[in-house]
Homo-oligomer: A and B are copies of this chain.
Amino acid sequence: MYTSETFVRVRYGETDQMGYVYYGNYAMYYEVGRVESLRQLGLTYKELEDMGVMMPVLENKSKFHQAALYDDHLKIVTTIREKPGVRIAFYYTIFNDNGTLIHEGETHLAFVDKKTGRPCRPPNVFMDVLKPYF
C-alpha cells in the first residue's frame, strides 16, 4: 500500500451558489492527489505521457460527507491499495481545516498505449517506484 498527502486551496470559481464546492470539481482535486502522489515517488504523469502511455479514467466514485467551502485548505490523502496491473485504482480521503473527513472517492484508470490506443502494462519505471510498497 502506498499513501501520500497533498493540499489544495479551494478557489472561488470552484464554489457554486449554494456556497459549496461544486460536486464536479472534486475530480480535479483527485487529479491533484494522484499527480502529487506520483511526484512524491519521483515520477510525473507528464513523463508517463512522454513515454507514450496515457491513463484514461474507467470509473469514478464519490461520497460527499460534508461540504468543502471557499478558501478551505483541504488535505487530500491518496492511497494505492492494490498492486497496479493493466488498471490502477486510487483512493482518496479529503479533510478540511478542522481535520474533519469531508469526502471520500476512488478512481480506476487504465494504462493505454498512445500509439495503438490499446491497454498496456504500466511502464517499468512506474512499477519500480511502487515496488517497495507492494
Q: Which residues of A contact B (CB under 8 A)?
A: 9, 11-13, 15-20, 22-28, 31-32, 35, 44-46, 49, 54, 56-64, 67, 70-71, 107
> 13 more A-B contacts (CB under 8 A) besides A17-B70, A45-B71?
A9-B32, A12-B31, A13-B28, A15-B16, A18-B54, A23-B107, A35-B71, A49-B70, A58-B63, A59-B62, A59-B64, A60-B61, A60-B64
Chain A contact surface mostly: mixed
How many copies of the polypeptide does the oligomer hold? Answer: 4
Chain B residues lying within 8 Å of A32, measured Cβ to Cβ, are: 9, 11
A-B complex: 4 closest residue pairs judged by Cβ atoms: A24-B27, A23-B57, A15-B17, A46-B71
